[in-house]
Structure 1
């Protein structure tokens, strides 16, 4: 018997699903909104039927939350508005299917049969990846999904396309895929398409014979031949010159090509992994990238999320970068101050993980023999950005900066839980009391504030972070700090 969770504000839709589940011998869990659904699931769920427009939010924004419920259910998105953009967003985020209302009971029954049959026949992919020194970190939803796909791809020779912004770690993923494949003992050949000289691309890839062109004083093997039995990694494949795309497509399809100046063809059994930070589908529509080559590259597509969507991973990434730098430069081990960590969590990281690593290296270098990284050790442009961001938030608040956040005294119960009266917090003298140190007072106030907001928000991370005016990653750090 399977367990099916339906999240829909229409009573008729919930009733239809319940009737279908009863007829099929399955258990139906019914919820009219997102928070009710997320709060009612304690045991594994097999399928989630998720409406898009719900009273407390857009279901698509919570799709990953439902996919990571106990049992890792498959999500079927349902909407009354047949929006192509919503359908694309849902499917790209891992939805099993996208259905448009009105639905009949037979539609629901057929969909459930297919999903449950798929789950029954699916062999779980190993998620254990052997990566050097733990270079790939993170347990968030986006990075977990990428690692699952990486584990699946490692078991086959299917072409893999890695998508992500500059600096997210596409080459790390490519190397992890290579190390976990059956070709791990063979060559791993990297080709940076952006740096290939346009006039010599063909000879670099396919090789050339002696005298094939001016300066070809001897024959050379190309990179495709060097990758025989191994893996060919085409980095920035979106920059591959258009005239070469057709030639490379033929070599990719047949695994055979002709070196420049040669009559005979040679073969190479290479596994292709490509990466780009460009929108290849848009380029294909604009005829700046061959659509038939794009289809060949998309054997399995892995999207690596940007760092701004992985804020909960920043502390671990930063500490790893600190440890590696200090070990390599023979410096004493360093720690992050709370203020420094706060700035790391507030910053937008346009350069992603690569920028974070360079930022930490710069901070360690500036700190010298000190054992604590302070905000002053961070790059100036980053500190300026954070200050501007805070000033912008302050100016946007009614009444200016004085109303950015409530004082401790303004929050009922916080002053008392800190062991101080409201008069103490307000700065009035209270005869006969020995106030705690400023550091201790701040820590007590912070603990009380976090617990108060956590309770008021119904233990919902999104709401709590919004109330506190910080990112979810920063809120997770505060929870960890006080032991929640």
Structure 2
């Protein structure tokens, strides 16, 4: 294992005996050990010192270790977090893994098992460091510097070095086609074309002809031989946009084409060979479609050798102003008008809107703003579409988004209730109201309430809010 310095491990546990035992184990492995007896102290150290691995207890005097995982994952570079707890909690174990933990270990754990997990985590980190030294990835068309989008770009860079098929998932407008083209542009196939197929507009009677081509006279109107898109992608990439819309009638023949890289044009008796890579994109849940018999399981397996999930814009709010500024400057240049400044209320409205249409909606909004203000130097919130300003204003003035001092104007407790019970009752009412208002949208719940996803899941479970 190649390291510029000795790997540093921090142990966060309130049991001094556990601290002593784990510290000796870590030092015996030739690694550097540090420790904290409280979560607060541990988080303060993690914010200022780089740790390769953090061994984290769950039940600490000043908090729950599970709540800290997502915060630790936001550091750059993030440590590998190994949860170590004496309590059995299946939901907590699942939450830890979903939040990014390396593993979840029950105490007392054998020294051999702890040592094995530490070594594996360090080996993973070393491999990741080496993979990040790949040739520079051209991401010039993808705007954003937040952690979520940087993680996606890092994954895309690793995918570009392979020739395996890729499935890009995400809501409409998250940039699936931009990522597909970036992967192609950085792959060994970059000197050949990327052929885009919009599966959502292909009808059953045309799709075979469009994909596989046809011979002259194969059907009415086929007055000459025509190559299909699969042949045009020879040597390059075939990008299947909205692959979830691929008609069931052609999924079988399409699977065969992927497996053998051969197909037969409509009206031909001869097979044609074409060497292409497939990148697919969808905003649908293909696993659910497989369960309903709407999509072939074997085709899904063939398409998703790699899966690249893209986050919605509401989960990467730090990128909103970067995208807005980039496209404002671009549209000003295209229209030959001077650059424009953003007022504070314009920026705040952009950041508080939830962008259901994601980056595509934001870009279209900026295009409209620039087109309607050629003679103006500053963009104000008033220049934004009324629908956006109305929604942001409504959210800012609903009870669930109001300060706590405004929420409880009516007494919610009786004279004999304890403070703890009153706070829990108020918290439950707040979460129930907010959950209903955003229709259970977890990212929105986190954004409005200001609490982490891990804490939110625990509170929803505690109060049975669903």
Q: 2:7 aligns with which of 2, 8, 23?
A: 2
Q: Which has the higher contact order (CA 8 A, sep 6+)?
A: 2
Aligned counterparts of 1:92 and 1:110: Cα–Cα separation in 2: 21
Aligned to 1:129: 137
Other structure's SS at 1:130 match: coil
Asked if the contact 1:346–1:471 (Cα under 8 Å) also holds between the matched residues in 2, the reply is no
Q: Tell me how far apart the structure 2 counterparts of residues 129 and 232 of structure 1 sit (CA, whole Å).
A: 20
Shift of 1:307: 0.9
Instruction: Report the more deviating stretch, 389-398 or 39-48.
Output: 389-398
**Residues 341 and 212 of structure 1: CA distance in aligned 2, closer, same or farther (over 3 Å):** same
Gaps of 5+ in 1: 404-465, 473-484
CA–CA separation in structure 2 for the residues paired with 1:213 and 1:93: 55
* 2:22 is equivalent to residue 17 of structure 1: yes
Give 1:100-119 correspondences, 5 Å limit: 103-119=109-125
- 362 and 100 in structure 1: CA distance in 2 versus 1, 3 angstrom threshold: farther
Contact map agreement 2:340 2:379 (CA 8 A) in 1? yes
Distance 1:382 1:119, change over 3 A: closer
Matched, 1:299 2:305: yes
Change in CA separation of 1:381 and 1:4 when aligned onto 2, cut-off 3 Å = same
Q: Helix, strand or coil for the counterpart of 1:182?
A: coil
**Aligned partners of 1:306, 1:222: CA distance in 2, in Å?**
34
Give the distance between the partners of 2:322 and 2:137, measured in 1 at CA. 18
8 A contact 1:9–1:32 mirrored in 2: yes
Shift of 1:235: 0.9
Q: 1:217 to 1:5 in 2, by over 3 A?
A: farther
- Asked if 1:326 corresponds to 2:325, the answer is no
Q: Is the 8 A contact 1:161 1:299 kept in 2?
A: yes
Number of the residue aligned with 1:386? 392
Q: Is the 8 A contact 1:245 1:290 kept in 2?
A: yes
| Deviation of the 1:246 alpha carbon | 2.2
- Is the CA contact 2:239–2:279 (under 8 Å) kept in the aligned structure 1? yes
| Pairwise CA RMSD | 3.2
Q: Give the TM-score of the pair, scaled to structure 2.
A: 0.78
Gaps of 5+ in 2: 1-5, 410-445, 453-466
Measure the CA separation in 2 of the matches of 1:105 and 1:63.
Answer: 23
Per-residue deviation, residues 367-413 of structure 1 (Å, max 9, x unmatched): 23100001111001001101111111488556759x9xxxxxxxxxx
Structure-2 residue corresponding to 1:145: 151
Partner of 1:203: 209
Aligned pairs for 1:80-99 (under 5 A) are: 80-81=87-88, 83=90, 87=94, 95-99=101-105
Match of 2:431 in 1: none
Equivalent of 1:354 in 348, 353, 360: 360
Provide closer, same or farther for how the CA distance between residues 179 and 398 of structure 1 changes in structure 2, counting only shifts above 3 A.
Answer: closer
Distance in 2 separating the partners of 1:163 and 1:60: 28
- Equivalent residue, structure 2, for 1:477: none
2:42 corresponds to: 37
CA distance in 2, matches of 1:396, 1:71: 36
Cα deviations by residue, 1:136-188 (Å, 9 ceiling, x for unpaired): 12222211110111111111212111111111111111111111111111011
Question: Is residue 217–residue 223 contact of structure 2 (8 Å, CA) maintained in 1?
Answer: yes
> How many Å apart are 1:121 and its aligned residue?
4.8
Give the TM-score, by structure 1 length.
0.75
- Say if 2:165 and 2:278, in contact at 8 Å, map to a contact too: yes
Residue 314 (structure 1) aligned to one of 320, 323, 338: 320
What residue number does 1:290 align with? 296
**1:59-458 map, 5 Å:** 62-69=68-75, 71-77=77-83, 80-81=87-88, 83=90, 87=94, 95-99=101-105, 103-121=109-127, 123-126=130-133, 128-131=136-139, 134-393=140-399, 396-397=402-403, 400=406
**Distance (Å, rounded) in 2 between the aligned partners of 1:13 and 1:192:** 58
Q: State the secondary structure of the residue aligned to 2:34.
A: strand
Are 2:53 and 1:47 aligned?
yes
